[in-house]
Each structure stands twice: as structure tokens, then as C-alpha cells.
Structure 1
Amino acid sequence: MASEPSGHDGLMDRVAKATDLLGARGARDVPHPGGTLLAHLRRVHATLGEWGARPDLCLAGLCHAFYGTDGFAVALGSTDERATLVEAVGAEAEGIVYLYAGCDRGFSHSGLAQGGPFRDRFTGEVSDPPEAARRDFAELTVANELDLVQINPEFRERYGHGLRELFDSWEGLLSVPARRAVRSLLG
């Protein structure tokens, strides 16, 4: 694999490669609350950027549904194609995407902040991700779910209270801007 370009141009290149890959895999055609899956992915990417997240976490936000998720079954690529996503966004961003997409939410969410076990829904493997990975996972989850809260009143009505409780339990993992957004959008 060629070395990644550095600086702002390198980041813009990775964003362009990721967007092209997502588009080629049909993200422009997949219905999603607020329009299409690609529109949602772009909003999550933008939100993380507004919160001051580092570039690799923002790129993971752009691609977070590439392998599907425990809450959104549509996958644009399989876990056998991890190298394809690495080529577009880099290994660190792809690792965040895999962790996010692979999360067995029912098993893993409640103990995330306390260092509880984390189960990979693709392999069944149970692990203990380091705190930095848990922080990335929590920040990405909040950006994703708050996007849905903002654009879908039914989603907010149905899931808002539970999300607020979950995100309150993750407060120590979240950035100040993410915590502010939770309070602003979920009370």
C-alpha cells in the first residue's frame, strides 16, 4: 500500500476516496432517515468535525456503516474487504469503523464506561478495548444517534429517553462538545 499523503491535502484525499467508495457501493441510493445513507454519513462526519474530533475519528464517522451495524443491517462492504476501506481511509479510521460496526450493542453498551466486556457481533469474540477505543466508540455513537434525533421526531420520541440515560452513563468517555450536544438535544 502506498504511503498516505500528509497534512490537509492528505485528509481531503482520504475524504474524497471514502466518499467515492461509499457512492460506488450504493450509499447514495440507500434510504435513511433524513434522506440517504450517504447524507447521514456526511452529517455524522461533519458533526464530529464540529466537535473537534481528530481526522481519523471524523473519517470513521463518514464510513461508520460500511460493514452495517447492529442497528442498521445494510452493509456496503463485507468484513472480508477491510483492506479496501483501509486503502481509502487508513488503518486507524478503519479500525474505528470495524469496532463500531462490530459492536453487539445489547451485550456491550451498558458496561462501556466501566470497562465492561465488548462483544464483536461478527466473530462472537469478547474483548476489553482500551479506553481510547471506548472514547472513539462513544463519541461516534453519540454523533450518529444525535443525527437521527435531530432529523426524525419519531426516533427522538421512541428512543430519546433511553439514549439520554445511556449517554449519561458514558459521560466520562465523551468530549465536552458531545456532552453539550446530548444535553441540548435530549434535555
Structure 2
Amino acid sequence: MLQAAGAERIEHPGGTLLAHLGWVSALLSSWSARPALVSAGLCHAFYGTDGFPVALLDLGRRAELAEAIGTEAEAIVYFYASCDRKSSYRGLIDDTGLCTGLFTDRFTGDRTRPSPEACRDFAELTAANELDIAAVSPQMRALHGAHLLALFTRWRPLLSERAWAHCRSVLDRADH
């Protein structure tokens, strides 16, 4: 599906979108993420994102992606792609580290309180995505590294130990 959608022809920091999707999936796998999250990592940009508007598949075709990767993985992909970052990132968790904030769906405008598992999946996938970009692009790391480190530090309760260690190794560099 990725090749049919032309992911290998779409430019992305560090190479192509296809390469980035593979790296995000591999990174999640290296963190021992469950199979549905690893599959979601491979397909996380299918519907575009708030930060990368190129969609590989129209939302009206969600059933096709669900058939290919499973309904759980597709639900993670949709949740990730639907995030209105400006209104969702800051308040995703409260000061105690609990996922109690409101999440805004950029496609529908709906505001919901995601489950703790959905918050953890979202945080891990966001970290894998952003860390892959920061690792391959010194310019992106210099521009956004400090902000990402602050975000992931706030989200620390949602991240696995391996994800947090990777955050520190990529974002604690002196060049940002």
C-alpha cells in the first residue's frame, strides 16, 4: 500500500517518506512496542498529520488500511493523524502524569479524553516520529530539539524506558 500510494517518491527529512515510515516502525520495534503499535508506526502518515499534510489515503478508505494492518493498528494511525497538535499536546497529561486532558480531532473538531493506553501509544508514536526526524536532520534538531525535549519530559510518564532513553540520547545533544 505504501508503494502504491507513492511514499517512496515523497520527500521527507533524511530521505523519503517511505524510508521515514520504516525507520519509525523499526524504532518502535527496538523499544519492544507491541505489534499493533509497530504497524501503526509504519503507516502513521497515511492520513497526513498536523505537521505533514500529505495524505497517502483518503479518510473514506480507512477500512482498506484496517484490512491491511488490523483494526487496532488502524485506530492508532487515525488517532495519531487526527491530532490537533496545538490544542492537544500541552494538556494531554496533568501535572501528576495522568492522561486526563482533552484531545482534539483535527478532522472532526471533536474533543475527547483518550484512554491511558491511547495516550501511551500516542506519546510513543510521537516520540518515534519526532526522534527519527531529529536524528537525521541537525537543522530540525536545532530548531525544535529544546521544545521536543520539554514536551517529552512532560510526557515522561507515558513513555517506555527505552523511548525515554532514546529521547535523551537524541535531544540532549549540545547542537540545539
**TM-score scaled by length of structure 1:** 0.88
CA RMSD of aligned residues (A): 0.5
Which residue, out of 98, 101, 118, partners 2:78?
A: 98
Question: 1:62 is matched with which residue?
Answer: 42
Partner residue in 2 for 1:11: none
Residue 30 of structure 1 and its aligned partner are, at CA, apart by 0.4
Residue 113 in structure 1 maps to residue 93 in structure 2: yes
The residue aligned with 1:43 is 23
Partner of 2:7, secondary structure, is coil
Partner of 2:149: 164
Residue type of the alignment partner of 1:165: A
Q: Which residue of 2 aligns with 1:148?
A: 133
Q: Which residue identity is paired with 1:95?
A: A
Match of 1:133 in 2: 118
Taking the aligned partners of 1:183 and 1:155, their CA distance within structure 2 comes to 16
Deviation, 1:34, is 1.1
Q: Which residue of 1 aligns with 2:97?
A: none
Matched, 1:74 2:54: yes
Amino acid at match of 1:186: L
Identity %: 56
Write the distance in 1 (CA, Å) between the matches of 2:160 and 2:27.
12
In structure 1, distance between residues paired with 2:82 and 2:137: 25
Count of residue pairs the alignment pairs up: 167
Deviation, structure 1 residue 91: 0.2
State the AA in 1 paired with 2:85: R
Shift of 1:111: 1.2
Q: Which residue of the partner structure matches residue 179 of structure 1?
A: 164
Structure 1 residues not aligned, in runs of 5+ = 1-20
In the aligned structure 2, how far is the partner of 1:88 from the partner of 1:35? 25
Q: What amino acid is the match of 2:115?
A: P
Q: For 1:133-179, what per-residue CA distance to the aligned partner results, in whole angstroms no more than 9, with x for missing partners?
A: 00000000000000000000000000000000000000000000001
From 13, 34, 37, the equivalent of 2:14 is 34
One-letter identity of the residue aligned with 1:128: R
* TM-superposed deviation, 1:79: 1.0
* Deviation sequence 1:65-113 (CA, Å, 0-9, x none): 0000000010001111100100100000000000000000000001112
Residue 116 of structure 2 aligns with an amino acid whose one-letter code is E
Distance 1:41 1:101 in 2: 14
Q: Which residue of 2 aligns with 1:6?
A: none
1:83 equivalent to 2:63? Answer yes
Decide which moves more: 94-103 or 106-115.
106-115
